[in-house]
Amino acid sequence: MSASPQKTIGLIGGMSWESTLVYYQLLNRGVRDRLGALHSASIVLVSLDFAQIEALQMRGDWDSATQILVDTAQRLERAGAQCVLICTNTMHKMADAVQAAISIPLLHIADATATALKVNGVQRPLLLGTRFTMEQTFYRGRLIDRYGFDVMTPDEAGRATVHDVIYDELCAGVISDSSREQYRSIIESAVTYGADSVILGCTEIGLLIQQHDVSVPVIDTTTAHVEAAVVFALAE
């Protein structure tokens, strides 16, 4: 039997499983589209219990959350993964600690997003995500400091709306037309203040907002992350 033409992708999923399902589908489609026939992605997946992670987030117990992700990444490496993806934007808060604990590369979702922003030729994106992603610097700061993007975020009321819809609806698989309209209003308001694109900076937002919903380029971080993983897996 010939050697596999691809590397094995390790996924830290379940945060929430709604978007992990999308990762799995897109990774397999991406490999099939490139290799053809009956090819699919070589994947090792550990799907965490998001209720446990969400409780730690809300308590601000990031140390315990970090240890869970470190342990999970090490499990993936032992299982044969040749790279690791954290299938959520928010938990990239501990990406550096995870990378330090393993000997295989962690493919950072903000780096993949930066590549997609460059491809679209935009400079001033509106970042939507959880409060942690929008308000803290681990993600937004990486886009600003490493890549020079002028990242905007919604106002306080807008951030609250975006965050609540993620946790109360999208992570539970609830897709609401009224929430879609609220998101569209937040995005179009930002466009009037100079936003030239929108980052769907939570891996569930792509379940709600797509390109045809808004007037500026949409950067879906799930799609961008998957593209980076497929390129890595199929590189010579």
Strand order, beta sheet including 218-220: 125-128, 197-200, 218-220
Q: Kindly give, in sequence order, each residue whose CB lies less than 8 Å from that of residue 226, ignoring residues fewer than 6 positions away.
A: 23, 26, 27, 30
Q: Which of 20, 88, 221, 222 is catalytic?
A: 88
**E strands, 51-131, where?**
83-86, 125-128
Torsion of CA 199, 200, 203, 208, to 10 degrees: -170
d(CA 67, CA 98): 9
d(CA 126, CA 105): 28
Q: Is 39 helix (H, G, I), strand (E, B) or coil?
A: coil
The β-bridge partners of 128 are 200
Q: Which of 83, 87, 171, 202 is catalytic?
A: 202
Alpha-carbon separation of residue 184 from 43, 46, 198 (angstroms) = 34, 33, 10
Task: Assess whether 202 carries a catalytic annotation.
Answer: yes
Q: Kindly give, in sequence order, each residue whose CB lies less than 8 Å from that of residue 93, ignoring residues fewer than 6 positions away.
A: 62, 132, 136, 138, 139
List active site positions.
88, 202
